[in-house]
Amino acid sequence: MIDMTQLRKLEEQVAAWPHVSVHPHRFALLAQGLAEEHRWIPNSGWTTFQVRGERDLQHALWLMRLSHLRYALKTASDARGMLEHESEELGLSPHLRSLLQQHLPTQPERTTTDRLTA
């Protein structure tokens, strides 16, 4: 059984990532059953993920890293290298990797070389 302390630790871990602030946000990943459509506001871009146990905490962290990667790619100095590295780290399927490639900048922007961390 998961308690609020464990959920706060998950939030603190994610909030410590570079360029991350904690707010409710939109994230439209429903592919492969990794999250569910939001039960109260479907078709909004929001998702639902139920945390019921330790394994769910790990999956929640994975989902948040994936969402963070989507935004980090837009400003990374080596976005293709970051995508390659993080795809391996996250074990992304070819389909998810191709979806993230859409977020690679068309003009290289030199703002950060930070790697994502778990």
Positive or negative: CA dihedral 23, 24, 28, 33 = positive
Residue 95 inside a domain? The answer is yes
Cα(66)–Cα(118) distance, integer angstroms: 11
Does pTM top 0.85 for this prediction? Answer: no
The pLDDT tens digits for 56-68 are 889 888 988 988 8
3-state secondary structure at position 63: helix
Predicted confidence band of residue 87 (pLDDT cuts 50, 70, 90): very high
Q: How far apart are CA 31 and CA 95, in angstroms?
A: 9
- Is 117 a domain residue? no
CA–CA dist 81, 6 (Å, integer): 32
pLDDT higher than 90, residue 40: no
% of the chain surpassing 90 pLDDT: 15
Three-class DSSP category at 112: strand
**Per residue in 18-29, pLDDT tens?**
877 665 444 437
Residue 113 domain-assigned (yes or no):
no
Whether residue 107 is contained in a domain is answered as no
Strand pairing of 36-37 and 47-48?
A: antiparallel
**Could you tell me which of 96, 94, 109 has the C-alpha nearest to residue 65?**
96
- The overall average pLDDT reported for the chain is 78
Q: Is residue 118 part of a domain?
A: no
Count of domains forming the chain:
1
Percent of the chain with pLDDT over 70: 71
What was the pLDDT predicted at 81? 95
Expressed as residue numbers, the domain containing 10 is 4-101
